[in-house]
Amino acid sequence: MKTNPEKFGATPHQPSLWTRADALKVRADDPTTTQPLVRADFPVLNNDVFIWDTMPLRDLDGNVTSVDGWSVIFTLTADRHPNDPQYLDEDGNYDILRDWNDRHGRAKMYYWFSRTGKNWEFGGRVMAEGVSPTAREWAGTPILLNDRGEVDLYYTAVTPGATIVKVRGRVVTTEHGVSMVGFEKVKPLFEADGNMYQTEAQNAFWGFRDPWPFRDPKDGKLYMLFEGNVAGERGSHKVGEAEIGDVPPGYEDVGNSRFQTACVGIAVARDADGDDWEMLPPLLTAVGVNDQTERPHFVFQDGKYYLFTISHTFTYADGVTGPDGVYGFVADSLFGPYVPLNGSGLVLGNPSSQPFQTYSHYVMPNGLVTSFIDSVPTDETGTQIRVGGTEAPTVGMKIKGQQTFVVAEYDYGYIPPMLDVTLK
Ligand code: FRU
């Protein structure tokens, strides 16, 4: 891992680089970094909706938190359309794959609750129709602020544009369930600036989303991670020695990898409430390696900063590849330098026989990793698939120094609380 003095010269820290040499070490199907096969006969949480990105309620230190004994998760959610003529094929059958692939355009934030950390009960939409300023409510983080049940939901307001926003509400519990009240006034926080983070004007395929606020365990200040791309016109990025890293002879050709420019962004709050933010240079860049480092998040363990982010096979650059899954990096201080976990960065990937079985992995501080089921093959050749849109089995993982190990598998959507808050 190298740093990049050229672009971020006069800034407080140098982004760490995920290099092409690091990515050449990625090995799909290593059992210690591969998610167990998901069976095609998985249960579906709810047949009326697709769910994908799952966001457990947590505190600012990252602890998954229940309230009055109720676990709560938020999910990106979209209606299923089994009877909509738009989603029927020539034979009049429901084309679930097309419906599933269209879901991003109508993503809304929903919540679910449970007494057992699984078998989630449907709560409903977090914001009423018309509250959120854009068509799409994309991923973010619900933060339980205090024992009055106040919740700040940070999320991404997309189309038009992509703005990191927050909305405040309250979680209310009874013996019978949980409801969300408030969530009526959405506050825009910031957008890509074009100097550190790529804008839509610089690249129509830009990414700027997935806020993950946290309190730094060392300096106590409020920060936020997010997904971005490195600023600059599409095609203008340089994949030089630093981005290539120490590759063997014959691996110097970078092809068209200048189009892949993912980064993990960071911002610092200027106030205690997190209403006023300043963007800082990225913590990590993947120029010439990968175009998406989505849903970045931390686990703070053993005095170290474990940075996790999800990525895809299709977003890798020419000459490097890896499975869909979660990748990780570790540093001794917040601003790095970050070193790829397991040498390559790969932490938990899909098996090559089921490359799309799961996605949007979220590593919790107890080592449990939740994700959703995308699609699982139902025949030998992989031409027939079953679409998921539901919670995947949770994976247990051990994090030791610069390595991680898959050690357990749990029930579908198992997200147990790490602490319980009794509401006043
Ligand atoms: C990850 C993701 C997020 C985004 C959402 C859009 O699965 O791509 O980065 O917020 O899904 O549906």
CA of residue 157 to ligand 1 center, whole Å:
12
Query: What pLDDT sits at residue 5?
Result: 52
Collapsing DSSP to helix, strand or coil, 284 comes out as strand
Out of 4-18, 21-35, 207-221, least confident range: 4-18
Q: Which two tokens stand for residue 144?
A: 């339980």
Residue 243 pLDDT level (bands cut at 50, 70, 90):
very high
Q: Is ligand 1 within 6 A of the CB of residue 138?
A: yes
Mean pLDDT confidence for 20-38: 98
Residue to substitute in 141, 158, 295, 297 for testing ligand 1 pocket (most ligand atoms within 8 angstroms of CB): 295
Rounded Cα distance, 45 and 118, in Å: 10
Instruction: Give residue 78's pLDDT.
Output: 98
Residue 306: φ, ψ to 5°: -100, 110
Question: Hey, what are 250's tokens?
Answer: 């014959």
**Can you tell me the distance from the alpha carbon of 299 to that of 362, in angstroms, rounded to the nearest whole number?**
10
Per the prediction, the chain carries an average pLDDT of 96
- Region 153-172: mean pLDDT is 98
Pocket of ligand 1 contains residue 158 by CB under 6 Å: no
User: Given this model, what pLDDT does residue 12 score?
Assistant: 78
Per cent of the chain over pLDDT 90 is: 96
User: What's 17-242+260-419's CATH class?
Assistant: mainly beta
- Ligand 1: does its nearest atom lie under 6 Å from the Cβ of 203? no
**pLDDT tens digits along 324-382:** 999 999 999 999 999 999 999 999 999 999 999 999 999 999 999 999 999 999 998 87
Instruction: Check if 243 has its Cβ closer than 6 Å to any atom of ligand 1.
Output: no
Kindly list the catalytic residues: 53, 294
**How far away, in angstroms, is 423 Cα from ligand 1 center?**
32
Distance 46 CA to ligand 1 centre (A): 20
Neighbours of 244 (CB within 10 A): 21
Ligand 1, pocket-test mutation among 210, 264, 324, 358, most atoms within 8 A of CB: 210
- Looking at residue 380, its pLDDT comes to 83
Q: Does residue 156's CB lie within 6 angstroms of at least one atom of ligand 1? A: yes
Determine what percent of the chain is predicted with pLDDT higher than 70.
98
Locate the domains of the chain by residue range: 17-242+260-419
- Buried (b) or exposed (e) across 184-222, using 16+ Cβ within 10 A? eebeebbbbeeebbbbeebbeebbbbbbbbbbbeeeeeb
Within a 10 A sphere around the Cβ of 417, how many other Cβ atoms?
21
Quote the pTM value.
Answer: 0.97
107 lines ligand 1 (CB under 6 A): yes
- Let me know how long the chain is: 424
